Amino acid sequence: MKDCIFCTIVAKKIPNYTVYEDSHVLAFLDIHPRAKGHTVLIPKVHAETIFDLNEEIAKSLLPAVERTADRIEHVLSPDGYNIGWNHGEAGGQEVSHLHIHILPRWHGDGGTNIHGIVNHPGEMSVEEVGALFS
Ligand code: 5GP
Ligand code: ZN
């Protein structure tokens, strides 16, 4: 997509530090890292969210995450990772091209875990929400 920064990176019009690449995905260092080796992994085709991606490419993402983390593992040997993505404006997504953040973690780095993202369960009980899915 023309005005998409990540499509511009895929087109190699903006340089990147590539961590992993295959025919479907590109993983590169985040320009404003929140951790050493902070990497974003994107599908090469433009898709705003996972709902906009075709199934074949969606299925290629998890193996690509594993291969990207494997590269990071060999180069930086972190103690752990947080891996996930911000979906939609309410989820904090700023670049409207799906990207999975891979954050290497080290003991004592002062970071938190996924439970630190939000703590606002609302008024409904788990049972009431569960009933909506039945
Ligand atoms: P979001 O908040 O949308 O999940 O995160 C977007 C991420 O993309 C941010 O962490 C930001 O630093 C990164 N980013 C934005 N523009 C560029 C860029 O031009 N190059 C690289 N390498 N990362 C970028
Ligand atoms: Zn794009």
115 alpha carbon – ligand 2 mean position (Å): 29
Structure tokens at 130: 């569960």
Domain 5-132: which CATH number of 3.40.50.720, 3.30.428.10, 3.40.50.920, 3.65.10.10 = 3.30.428.10
Q: Which of 24, 46, 99, 120 is catalytic?
A: 99
Contacts of 67 (CB under 8 A, 6+ apart): 20, 22
Number of neighbours of residue 95 by Cβ within 10 angstroms? 13
Structure tokens at 96: 């409207």
pLDDT tens digit at each of 134 positions of the chain: 889 999 999 999 999 999 999 999 999 999 999 999 999 999 999 999 999 999 999 999 999 999 999 999 999 999 999 999 999 999 999 999 999 999 999 999 999 999 999 999 999 999 999 999 99
Residue 85 alpha carbon, nearest atom of ligand 1: 4
3 alpha carbon – ligand 2 mean position (Å): 8
DSSP letters along 64-132, please? HHHHHHHHHHHHH--SEEEEE---TGGGT--SSS--EEEEEE-TTS----GGGS-----SS-HHHHHHH
Q: For ligand 1, which residues put their CB under 6 angstroms from it? A: 5, 14, 16, 28-32, 40, 86, 92-95
Cβ 100 vs Cβ 24: under 8 Å: no
Task: Tell me the whole-structure pTM to 2 decimals.
Answer: 0.97
95 alpha carbon – ligand 2 mean position (Å): 8
In the 8-state DSSP scheme, what is residue 51? G
**Amino acid at position 1, single letter:** M
